[in-house]
Chains A and B, each alone.
Chain A
Amino acid sequence: MKFALAQLNPTIGNLQRNAQDILEAAQAAQVQGAQVLLTPELSLCGYPPRDLLLQPYFIQQMNQVLKQLAQDLPMELWVLVGTVSEHGRSPQVGGKPLFNSMALLHQGQLQHMFHKRLLPTYDVFDEHRYFEPGQVNLEHWPSHDHKLTRHESANHESTRHKSTRNESTRNESASNTFTVVDTSQNPLRIGVTICEDLWNDDEFWGKRSYRENPIADLAQQGVDIIINLSASPYSLGKQALREKMLQHLAQRHNLPILYVNQVGGNDDLIFDGGSFGVDHQGTTVCRAPSFATALTLIDVDAATQQMHLGSRASLPRSPAEELWQALVLGVGDYARKCGFPRHSWASAAASTQPWWQRSRPLPSVQKMSSVF
């Protein structure tokens, strides 16, 4: 079962353009035989949208663009799109009016909405200002011991999938999992986490930052693979830390993990991408380049959860090279996304090249220079 990791560079608030990028990634992923497409946290509006989230009209537009996108996407593909969703009961029960969510789109429909459970409010993050943490109904199934043999697990999954589809769909959504069946009818149960959900491993950090641990919860539910959709800002040496942490998590829970990160500069924050996957032993099996948009494919055997080695982009060779690439991306994106030079935005935006072939993520400088 091929997963496509879309390392996108969204422009905050440009919903149409971001949706178009997701659509182009989906079409490319389908051509390359992918069944599932993963996009970063809040990929529809870009991260961080900050106080745009306080505007009801913005939320309304996001919902509308998402609905349209669901219909435009290739029907067979399962696509996870980062968006917000409404916490409908907040006027009665209190709490924030929105969730930070991933929408699962398939066959033209919204299948599930998964909510982020751990909301960071340190350093540059301020998610409790906007979001209600997601709650889960943990499904302790098939067993507390997730190391059930793969064969038993697969049989149990497919039986359940056929007989009680509606119920299981509802339960799955509430437990942040969903199941995709490959072409040989092998089911793969996928656990969905969003960014911070990953960053609370007491063993790795030597302490807990939150009471709940979404990764441990998913492992206990017997998922076959965990995916994490992120918008994780860059700082020097961050990618090495992420890979070390995922290696630890994969080994601890004996599970493969796919990690998709946003790329690009948004105001003061630089997102470095570096999306990657680790197998259940913690070995890095694929890696997208840092500081560039990419579409990276990884093949997971649904029956055995083995991963075939994919392409692995090399990491920057020195701290200086890493800083250089970060700052060049940060300055370039800031200028382009603010619309400099001011008068040429409209003509420059009409680039015909698909995003993954562009060396620079937005209207190319070459096009802009003629009117600079």
Chain B
Amino acid sequence: MAAIAAAALGPENVLGILMPSPYSSGHSITDATALAQNLGIATETMAIAPTMDAFDQALRPLFAGSEFGLAEENLQSRIRGTLLMAVANQFGHLLVSTGNKSELAVGYCTLYGDMNGGLGAIADLPKTQVYALCHWLNTRPTAVLRTLPHCGPEIIPAHIISKPPSAELKPGQIDQDSLPPYDVLDEILDRLICQHQSAAEIIAAGFEAQTVDRITALVNRAEFKRRQAPPGLKVTDRAFGTGWRMPIAKQWQP
């Protein structure tokens, strides 16, 4: 995403903001910083722990006696989203939303958090294709070197590609705790979204019934989020956005 923005607008016109929380791993900072250096974009850092504390205090009377859960996890994303919009607001920048199609499909994105922004640049790119694009970038194709003449020997730091994907919203969390591997997920999503298949057809094609039912339910449930997402650049036959007109308040499972 940062590489696309740097190539599209010039690295000198792109700003990356690092917003670590107490759950952020050390490598998420070092990897992001390495990426910014490779691209030649500027970065700023704003720790969000103090803001998290302030939110905790405000919510404590109401949340007393309940376990740390999804609401607290998502607060981190919402704090980041709010800070990012403040920066964009102050300086007249465009906040580019980083969600990919796999995440938007199953709702692995936070409203008023990482879904903030004016444009979803990779919103129609399934996660597996995001990886493919990163691998391709690291072959240093001439088409890319033309637009990013100052990039180093690698564009995407290898560790960003090799580490297990994680939102890092609680200790040790990874995406595959609650989702099938992305290659399986993306194939199920393609059948569901682009090929208009029913859950029964997908199961008949050899996918685990429990997984398919769960993914189908997640896609259904995330409709209200997608309706509030920024416009996303369309690169497939069927993108969420103008070409996807699903009711939100519905009782139908494909």
Contacts and interface: CB of A to CB of B under 8 A. Distances in A.
Are A and B genuine complex partners? yes
Interface of A: 123-124, 126, 233-236, 265, 267-270, 316, 318-321, 323-332, 334-335, 338, 340-343, 365-366, 368-369, 372
Nearest to B123: A268
Nearest to B233: A330
A269 B119 CA distance: 12
Interface stretch (B23-31, B166-174, B206-214, B234-242): B234-242
Given A268-B239, A340-B94, A325 B143 contact: yes
A335 B9 contact: yes
Contact of A331 (B96, B132, B237): B96
A332 B8 contact: yes
Contacts of A341: 13, 91-93
Nearest to A265: B233
Most buried by A among B5, B92, B132, B144: B92
A320 B94 contact: no
9 contacts: A126-B242, A265-B233, A320-B132, A324-B133, A324-B136, A327-B233, A331-B8, A331-B233, A335-B119
Contact of A268 (B7, B91, B92, B241): B241
B239 A340 contact: no
B153 interface: no
Interface string B1-41: 00011011110110000000000000000000000000000
B8 A321 contact: no
B143 A123 contact: no
A326 B234 CA distance: 9
A328 B92 contact: no
Most buried by A among B12, B232, B233: B233
Contact of B12 (A124, A265, A330, A369): A369
Interface in B235-253: 235-239, 241-243
A323 B235 CA distance: 7
Contact of A124 (B7, B137, B242): B242
B119 A334 contact: yes
A368 B122 CA distance: 24
Given A335-B8, A340-B94, A342-B92, A324 B234 contact: no
Most buried by B among A235, A327, A332: A327
A126 B234 CA distance: 16
A268 B234 contact: yes
Contacts of A365: 9-10, 13
B118 interface: yes
Nearest to A335: B94
Contacts of A335: 8-9, 94, 119
Contacts of B137: 324
B198 interface: no
Given A124-B243, A330-B233, A320 B10 contact: no
B48 to A, nearest CB: 26
A235 B235 contact: yes
A328 B5 CA distance: 7
B4 A123 contact: no
A60 B125 CA distance: 40
B143 A268 contact: no
B8 A329 contact: yes
Given A321-B136, A340-B94, A330 B121 contact: yes
B13 A321 contact: no
Contacts of B82: none
Contacts of A126: 242
Given A235-B235, A334-B119, 13 more contacts: A123-B243, A124-B239, A124-B241, A124-B243, A233-B234, A268-B239, A320-B132, A320-B135, A323-B129, A323-B235, A328-B147, A341-B13, A341-B92
Contacts of A236: 235-236
Contacts of A329: 8
A142 B242 CA distance: 44
A320 B133 contact: yes
Contacts of A340: 92-94
A327 B241 CA distance: 16
Interface in B90-139: 91-94, 96, 118-119, 121-122, 125, 129, 132-133, 135-137
Contact of B233 (A320, A326, A369): A326
8 closest pairs, A vs B, by CB? A320-B136, A332-B8, A342-B92, A123-B243, A330-B233, A331-B8, A124-B243, A268-B231
Contacts of B143: 316, 321, 324-325
B50 interface: no
B9 A332 contact: yes
B190 to A, nearest CB: 12
